[in-house]
Amino acid sequence: MAELESLLDSARDALLAGDILKLAALADALEAAASPREPAALRRSRDKAARNAALLSAAMKGLRAALRRAEELTQPDRFSTYDSSGRRGALLASTAPVRRV
């Protein structure tokens, strides 16, 4: 197996494991790796790179969602509810005075 293919497989493993530090460590080696000359090896490497790009895109989507959720949790006076269809709605605090009976 070519060096590039091995690096792409390692990057896939890091993406699936959520090991961002390992992925960052592979970045320089991936950039420096030579492209294979044989058409079959080039095709395999291209397919593996496309697979990794899809995994990276999904990981980024998950990180953005987690960041949005963390920001929501830190907002004071921000509450939400869910309806029977699972859609989230804002629950606004009432400004009307509360009367006790």
What is the total count of domains within the chain?
Answer: 1
Place of tokens 């509360």: 98
Question: Could you report the per-residue pLDDT of 13-70, keeping only the tens digit for each?
Answer: 999 999 999 999 999 999 999 988 999 999 999 999 999 999 999 999 999 999 998 9
Tell me, yes or no, whether 97 lies in a domain.
no
| Whether the Cβ atoms of residue 53 and residue 12 lie closer than 8 Å to each other | no
Q: Would you say residue 99 lies in a domain?
A: no
Torsion of CA 82, 57, 54, 88, to 10 degrees: 10
For residue 73, tell me if it sits in a domain: yes
The rounded distance, in Å, linking the Cα atoms of 25 and 6 is: 14
Is 101 inside any structural domain?
no
Extended beta strands in 25-74, E state: none
Domain that holds residue 13: 3-91
- Measured from the Cβ of residue 2, the count of other Cβ atoms closer than 10 Å reads 17
In a domain, 38, yes or no: yes
